[in-house]
Amino acid sequence: MLALARALHVSWAPLERLPASMLQRMAAVTTAAATSSSAASGADSINGINGQAHPSSSPFTPGPPGSTLSGSHSRGVPDLHEPPVWQQQQHHQQEAHTPEQDDFVSRRQQLLAATLKHVPQLGWAGGAAAAAAASELGLSPAAAGMLGSDAQTVQHFVADCNRRLDRELAGMQQLLSAMEPRQRLRTALQLRLRMLEPVIETWPQALALLAQPEAAPRSLQLAFDLADSIWHAAGDTSTDATWYSKRALLTGVYVGAELFMLNDASPGFADTWAALDRGLEGVVEAEGAVEGAGSFASSLGDAAAMALTQLSSMLRRPM
């Protein structure tokens, strides 16, 4: 665990707060990931960025194209303007909404925007920010329930940030195309992290809410969706088992930078961006180890442990 913390350049202290039972579960998951990837590594080849065409995965069963966990749609040649197929599927589902559903989504989005104005003063817990927002909009106190629980309110914010990032990246096609793949990753990660600036003082509380047992599955799905979208924007075309390791590694890098950002007092979060650069160097080194040594099972296990450790330490921070 200490090696994982050092790899992402974050403090060991948050990991010490993890209960032994959680560490044991994480170890079991890591072992399972390594065992599973070992069986797959013998038949899979290694594809990098700008390689073969990359069909997208299903939104609820993430996996590379061609695997039993992946979706059936083919993406074809990557286009930085084209959103991931799972987002296109969600878009089509949204288009099929009834007028009543569309109105509800619109009102909820309006309530979320108003809630975020009160979060810096009132925090995420207790529903105070949502209640203040409902009052500000002239709605009844019960309208605050449109955002769901405190954890669901945070998740709405995270999902909204992910959608905003997708739109921004779609409008940066020419700029991203001129960048090296690693710089594309850095640009996307930095854009996403900057979306936390308005609520950074209360973000530790939000992370604690995301750790609640009933919220954790959705929280992990949102983190994975973010990594998947960023890799697609970076031009990733992997179709083998590295599809998993890249997303696990990038999730770990994002979480590590997010943790660093919480305690960063440097001007413009300069130290966070430096930590982000170091984390991306680790991604490049890990991918090189996979290709050079062929030890994909070990690398994927390390990637899973890294992501799980950082997510767990992040989500277990005290409110």
- Taking residues 261-285, what's their average pLDDT? 91
Q: Phi/psi at 91 (nearest 5 deg)?
A: -65, -45
Whether 23 shows a pLDDT value over 70: the answer reads no
Q: What pLDDT was estimated at residue 202?
A: 97
Which CATH number characterizes residue 135's domain? Answer: 1.10.357
Q: Do 41 and 88 share a structural domain?
A: no
* 307 and 169 belong to one structural domain: no
Q: Are residues 188 and 175 in the same domain?
A: yes
Residues 38 and 129 in one domain: no
- DSSP code of 46? P
Quick: pLDDT tens for 115-141: 999 999 999 999 999 999 999 999 998
Residue 134 φ/ψ region, left for φ over 0, alpha for ψ in the -120 to 50 degree band, beta for the rest = alpha
Residue 236 phi/psi, 5° resolution?
-65, 130
User: Rg of the chain's alpha carbons, rounded to an integer?
Assistant: 20
- Would 193 be classed as within a structural domain? yes
Tokens matching residue 126? 């207790």
DSSP 204-234: HHHHHHHTSTTTHHHHHHHHHHHHHHHHHHT
**Could you tell me if residue 59 is inside a domain?**
no
Boundary (domain end) residue, out of 185, 212, 237: 237
> Residues 185, 140: one domain?
yes
Answer yes or no: do 225 and 128 share one domain: yes
Rounded Cα distance between 309 and 286, Å, is 17
pLDDT of residue 49: 44
* Structure tokens, 176: 């991203």
**pTM listed for this prediction:** 0.67
299 and 207 in one domain? no
Beta partners for residue 49, in sequence order: 236
Question: Is 282 in the same domain as 224?
Answer: no
- Whether 181 and 104 map to the same domain: the answer is yes
Q: Which residues contact 138 (CB under 8 A, 6 or more apart)?
A: none
CA 17 to chain centre: 23
| pLDDT for 274 beyond 60 | yes
**Mean pLDDT across 20-30:** 44
198 within a domain of the structure (yes/no): yes
Determine, yes or no, domain membership for 215. yes
145 shares its domain with 284: no
**Domain coverage including residue 199:** 81-237
In a domain, 131, yes or no: yes
Confidence grade of residue 157 (pLDDT, cut at 50, 70, 90):
very high
Assess contact for 176 and 169: CB atoms under 8 A: yes
Query: Are residues 92 and 34 part of one domain?
Result: no
How far apart are the C-alpha atoms of 247 and 62, rounded to whole Å? 10
pLDDT at 75: 37
The percent helix, strand, coil of the chain (3-state, each to 5) is 70, 0, 30
Looking at every residue in the chain, the average pLDDT score rounds to: 73
**Residues 296/25, Cβ–Cβ less than 8 Å:** no
Whether 60 is in a domain gets the answer no
Give the end of a domain, one of 188, 215, 237.
237
Higher model confidence: residue 31 or residue 133? 133
Answer with the one of 212, 237, 262 that is the final residue of a domain.
237
CB 37 within 8 A of CB 241: yes
Total count of domains within the chain = 2
- One domain, residues 132 and 232: yes
Please give the DSSP secondary-structure letter assigned to residue 140.
Answer: -
Tell me if 222 sits within 8 A of 273, measured CB to CB: no
Q: Looking at the domain assignment, is residue 20 inside a domain? A: yes
pLDDT digits (tens, 9 = 90+) for 55-112: 333 334 456 655 544 443 333 333 444 444 445 545 444 455 688 788 888 999 999 9
Residue with tokens 């890591």: 30
Give domain status of residue 94, yes or no.
Answer: yes
The stretch 151-167 carries a mean pLDDT of 97
The burial of 265, by beta-carbon neighbours within 10 Å (0-12 exposed, 13-18 middle, 19 or more buried), is given as exposed
